Amino acid sequence: MMDIKEDLSIYLIEDSIVDFSSPKIQALASSLARGVNSDEDIARHCFLFVRDNINHTGDHKDNITTLKASEVLQHTTGWCYAKSILLAALLRANNIPTGFCYQRLSCGEYKDDVYCLHGLNAIYLKEYGWYRVDARGNKEGIDAQFTPPMEKLAFELQDAESDLEGIYSSPLDEVIEALKYNKTYEDMTNNFPDIKQ
């Protein structure tokens, strides 16, 4: 999908947010890779775990905002951005380069006439190169899947919606700030991160 000729090591780094040396993340990353040989199968297991076992905070109206991967795992909830952080941590713990991607979508589900960023991941698979996945969580009308090389994301772009170009090695500052300072469901729905293009 995307051909980026750069050093993949930047997509394997750990920082205070993608904190994959956390013992619980290490244990989970190891268990998801157990008995599996290919990077594609490890990535599939990690994707399915985050998609299906971590609540999407907005869907469940959980009144907590998680940021660091270890927090997302501990509380088993996260907005799309936080779920993408946990997925990156699990994959990087398994030495699979993983980046962050964003779409600018209508947030009409929460507020009328508002646009916001939506967070997802790009995974570097040896057989296919960069492959985008969306682990936000499925529900009626949303059916994100792991089917490389074909993308099956949560949302198809509508009028005035767009993909942000590029694969980022860490979450955007606007996303980190939103997760850091909007602690409740109501706070976040009133202050979604956005970048006007």
Q: What is the secondary structure of 99-161 as a DSSP string?
A: EEEEEEEE-TTTSTT-EEEEEEEEEEETTTEEEEE--S--BTTB--EEETTEEE-S----TT-
Residue 3 lies in a domain: no
Residue 137 lies in a domain: yes
Residue 26 lies in a domain: yes
If you ran DSSP here, which 8-state letter would residue 76 be given?
A: T
- CATH number for the domain that contains residue 57: 3.10.620
Residue 197 lies in a domain: no
What is the extent of the structural domain holding 157? Answer: 8-190
Which tokens is 135 given? 């682990």
Residue 101 lies in a domain: yes
Q: Give the number of other CB atoms < 10 A from CB of residue 125.
A: 19
57-83 pLDDT per residue, tens: 999 999 999 999 999 999 999 999 999
pLDDT at residue 112 is higher than 90: no
Q: Strand, coil or helix: what is 78?
A: strand
Residue 196 lies in a domain: no
d(CA 39, CA 49): 15
Residues 6+ apart with CB under 8 A from 156: none
Residue 2 lies in a domain: no
Residue 40 lies in a domain: yes
pLDDT at residue 197 is higher than 70: no
With cut-offs at 50, 70 and 90, classify the pLDDT of residue 4: very low
pLDDT at residue 53 is higher than 60: yes
Burial letters 40-67, b for 16+ CB under 10 A, else e: bebbbbbbebbbeebbbbbeeebeebbb
**Structural domains counted in the chain:** 1
**What is the pLDDT at residue 3?**
43
